[in-house]
Amino acid sequence: MANKKIKFYQVFFQDNNDAKIITDISFFFKELQDRFLNDKLNLPQMYHDKKIYLFEYTLSKFNDYSEFVIPFGKMKTNAPYKAIENNIKAITQETERLFDVNLLYYSKLYDAAIITTDKEGPSSKAIEAFLNCFLDTKEYSIRIKPILKSEGIEKVRESQKVRSINISINLDPSISDYFNQHINSDIGLLKCLLGLMNYSKYETNSKTIKLELGMGHHRDYIDFDCAMALLNELQFADSDIFKEIRVNYLDGHSEKIETVRIKNTEVELSDQISRNETGSVKISELMEQGPYLLEKHIYTIRESNRIIDRNMVNINNNIVIQQGELHEELQETTV
């Protein structure tokens, strides 16, 4: 076995205030492909002294842009330069010998992407900068944002048995903004917590709250769905407010009550492509396994999308693709 690591991303347009723009990203990729196939893009583009190349997409079996793979490449150090004069568009065994390639798989159904991690191929940052050079405006940009997961959340989710949740809250001035943004939440526990925070801040003039949700001395567990809804909401919340979140849960392996921290334990969501050969990941492998991998991590992906989708805006103009200037160096999106 020669499994290969892949990572998960959100791909979307954002405005200059970092708000997600309400639009279908697949239309951008369709137009980009059409222009590429008709030689209406200036290629390659430079990124950190390396030329970035685009190759023909592979579409789903339905031949639409709801699911596709895009290869991005950098020319290998010792590859013969004259090979590029043939205006290569497709990934073949020959081009694989010339380029270090990473693949971007996108699914409209899951509103998420997977990118392979060949260290010599273009990184997610390089791909993001490459795509942005074809936008005919400075009012918005494309973001390829890593999907994060809380290792603590994953342990609790696997357990499905929560004994207690301990929350340490700092009632600083930013609590008003957080209260106003979430007061209409449909999560009952969160609404109760918000009410307590607001009352403590303005009625008792408190500075901190330490709260434990649990079953006391009873050897029982709190409602798992309610607990997870609250933890999913709080894991990415402002750390200036929620200083610490600890969960006591039943470890399924040891059958002991373990404690895990939820805040500040985020890592980039990753997995493995299963394969029986060496070398780079094949387009067919990513096409075949992409839906399974996204479904496997559906809870983390949905939660990440939900957080991004909270702050969405419309734009007055359509997304316009330009030919792309031949920049000496692509500019990275600032975060």
Whether 145 contacts 19, CB under 8 Å: no
Average pLDDT over residues 157-172: 86
C-alpha–C-alpha distance, residues 310 and 305, integer Å: 9
Average pLDDT over residues 38-51: 85
Whether 51 contacts 45, CB under 8 Å: yes
Which range, 81-90, 140-149, 169-178, 209-218, has the best average confidence (pLDDT)?
A: 140-149
Handedness of CA 40, 287, 59, 131 (dihedral sign): negative
Average pLDDT over residues 117-123: 92
**pTM for this predicted structure:** 0.78
Of 139, 117, 156, 121, which Cα lies nearest the Cα of 9?
117
Of 9, 5, 6, which Cα lies nearest the Cα of 304?
9
Of 77, 58, 54, 76, which Cα lies nearest the Cα of 67?
58
What does the DSSP assignment read for 132-201? HTTBS-SSEEEEEEEPEEEHHHHHHHHH--EEEEEEEEE--TTHHHHHHHHTT-S-HHHHHHHHHHHHHH
The single-letter code of the amino acid at 50 is K
Instruction: Determine if the peptide bond prior to 80 is cis (ω within 30°).
Output: no
- Predicted confidence (pLDDT) at residue 34 exceeds the cutoff of 70: yes
Please tell me which residue, 174 or 247, carries the higher pLDDT value. Answer: 247
276-288 tens-digit pLDDT: 788 889 999 999 9
231-256 tens-digit pLDDT: 887 776 655 778 888 999 988 777 78
